Chains A and B, each alone.
Chain A
Amino acid sequence: MENRKEEKPTYPKYAPGTHVRTSDIRDKKITYTWWEPEIQYAWSLGNAMSKFLQGLKEGKILGVHCHKCNRLIVPPRSFCEYCYGPTEDWVELKDTGTINTYSVSYLDPNANRIEEPILIGVISIDEAYPKPMGFMHYFGEMSKDEIHIGMKVKAVWKPEDEREGSINDIKYFKPLGGGE
Chain B
Amino acid sequence: MTKVCVIGIGFTNFNPITPDMEWKDIMYEACQKAYVDAGVDPRRDIDSFITCAEDYWEGFSIFDEFVPDQVGALLRPCCTVCGDGIYGLGNAAMQIQTGLMDVVSIEAHSKVSDLLTYGDVVLHAMDPIYDRPVSGPVERPNYAGLPSYPEENPKPLVGSSDETDRVHPYFLAGLEMQHFLKTTGTTEEECAEVAVKNKKNAFLNPYAAYEAKISADHVMKSEYCFKPLKRMDISPNVDGAVCFVLANENIAKDLGIEPIYLEGFGWSSETPWLSTRGMEAEYARKSAEMAYKMADIVQPTKEIDLAEIDDRFTYKELQHLEALGLARKGEAKTLLKEGVTEIEGDLPINPSGGSLGVGNCLEATGLQKSLEIIMQLRGHAGKRQVPDAEVGLAQAWRGLPSGSGAVAIFRRG
| A interface residues (Cβ-Cβ under 8 A, vs B) | 33-49, 77-79, 81-84
Question: Nearest chain A CB to B50's CB is how many angstroms away?
Answer: 17
The 4 residue pairs across chains A and B that have the minimum distance between CB atoms: A46-B22, A81-B69, A41-B59, A40-B116
Q: Report the Cα distance A63→B356, complex, angstroms.
A: 42
Q: Given A40-B117, A43-B59, is A78 in contact with B28 using a C-beta cutoff of 8 Å?
A: yes
Q: Given A35-B128, A40-B146, A78-B28, is A46 in contact with B20 using a C-beta cutoff of 8 Å?
A: yes
Q: Report the Cα distance A43→B69, complex, angstroms.
A: 18
Q: Report the Cα distance A45→B26, complex, angstroms.
A: 11
Select from chain B the residue with minimum beta-carbon distance to A31: B129
- Contacts A39-B120, A42-B146 known; list 6 others, CB within 8 Å: A37-B124, A39-B121, A47-B20, A78-B24, A78-B28, A83-B43
Chain B residues whose C-beta falls within 8 Å of the C-beta of A84 in the assembled complex: 32, 41-43, 72
Q: Report the Cα distance A79→B128, complex, angstroms.
A: 41
- Which DSSP category, helix, strand, loop or mixed, fits chain B's interface? loop
Do A43 and B114 have beta carbons less than 8 Å apart?
A: yes
Question: Nearest chain A CB to B110's CB is how many angstroms away?
Answer: 13
Q: Report the Cα distance A48→B23, complex, angstroms.
A: 12
Select from chain A the residue with minimum beta-carbon distance to B72: A84
Q: Given A35-B132, A39-B124, A40-B146, is A79 in contact with B114 using a C-beta cutoff of 8 Å?
A: no
Select from chain B the residue with minimum beta-carbon distance to A46: B22
Chain A residues whose C-beta falls within 8 Å of the C-beta of B158 in the assembled complex: 34-36
Chain A residues whose C-beta falls within 8 Å of the C-beta of B59 in the assembled complex: 39, 41, 43
Chain B residues whose C-beta falls within 8 Å of the C-beta of A41 in the assembled complex: 59, 114-116
Do B117 and A44 have beta carbons less than 8 Å apart?
A: no
Do A44 and B74 have beta carbons less than 8 Å apart?
A: no
Q: Report the Cα distance A85→B88, complex, angstroms.
A: 25
Q: Report the Cα distance A82→B114, complex, angstroms.
A: 27
Chain B residues whose C-beta falls within 8 Å of the C-beta of A37 in the assembled complex: 120-121, 124
In the assembled complex, 17 residue pairs joining A and B whose CB atoms fall closer than 8 Å, in A order, are A33-B129, A38-B120, A38-B137, A38-B155, A40-B140, A40-B143, A41-B59, A41-B116, A42-B114, A42-B116, A42-B143, A44-B19, A48-B22, A78-B22, A81-B68, A82-B74, A84-B43
| B interface residues (Cβ-Cβ under 8 A, vs A) | 18-25, 28, 32, 41-43, 56, 59, 68-70, 72, 74, 111, 113-117, 120-121, 124, 128-129, 132, 137, 140, 143, 146, 155, 158
Do A45 and B42 have beta carbons less than 8 Å apart?
A: no
Do A43 and B124 have beta carbons less than 8 Å apart?
A: no
Chain B residues whose C-beta falls within 8 Å of the C-beta of A49 in the assembled complex: 22
Q: Report the Cα distance A20→B69, complex, angstroms.
A: 45
Q: Given A38-B120, A42-B116, is A79 in contact with B70 using a C-beta cutoff of 8 Å?
A: yes
Q: Report the Cα distance A45→B120, complex, angstroms.
A: 23
- Which DSSP category, helix, strand, loop or mixed, fits chain A's interface? loop
Q: Given A36-B158, A78-B28, A83-B43, is A46 in contact with B120 using a C-beta cutoff of 8 Å?
A: no
Q: Report the Cα distance A46→B137, complex, angstroms.
A: 31
Chain B residues whose C-beta falls within 8 Å of the C-beta of A78 in the assembled complex: 22, 24-25, 28
Q: Report the Cα distance A138→B151, complex, angstroms.
A: 35
Do A46 and B115 have beta carbons less than 8 Å apart?
A: no
Do B70 and A44 have beta carbons less than 8 Å apart?
A: no
Do A44 and B28 have beta carbons less than 8 Å apart?
A: no
Chain A residues whose C-beta falls within 8 Å of the C-beta of B21 in the assembled complex: 44, 46
Q: Report the Cα distance A45→B137, complex, angstroms.
A: 28
Question: Nearest chain B CB to A46's CB is how many angstroms away?
Answer: 3
Chain B residues whose C-beta falls within 8 Å of the C-beta of A36 in the assembled complex: 158
Question: Nearest chain B CB to A157's CB is how many angstroms away?
Answer: 24
Q: Report the Cα distance A84→B41, complex, angstroms.
A: 9
Q: Report the Cα distance A141→B188, complex, angstroms.
A: 70
Q: Which of A39, A47, A49 gathers most chain B CB within 10 Å?
A: A39
Question: Nearest chain B CB to A143's CB is how many angstroms away?
Answer: 34
Select from chain A the residue with minimum beta-carbon distance to B18: A44
Do B117 and A39 have beta carbons less than 8 Å apart?
A: yes
Select from chain B the residue with minimum beta-carbon distance to A40: B116
Do A43 and B23 have beta carbons less than 8 Å apart?
A: yes
Chain A residues whose C-beta falls within 8 Å of the C-beta of B121 in the assembled complex: 37, 39
Contact of B22 among A40, A42, A44, A82 (CB under 8 A): A44
Q: Report the Cα distance A40→B114, complex, angstroms.
A: 9
Q: Report the Cα distance A34→B124, complex, angstroms.
A: 12
Q: Report the Cα distance A49→B116, complex, angstroms.
A: 20
Chain B residues whose C-beta falls within 8 Å of the C-beta of A42 in the assembled complex: 114, 116, 143, 146
Question: Nearest chain B CB to A32's CB is how many angstroms away?
Answer: 10
Q: Given A33-B128, A36-B158, A44-B113, is A81 in contact with B74 using a C-beta cutoff of 8 Å?
A: yes
Chain B residues whose C-beta falls within 8 Å of the C-beta of A48 in the assembled complex: 22
Question: Nearest chain B CB to A132's CB is how many angstroms away?
Answer: 16
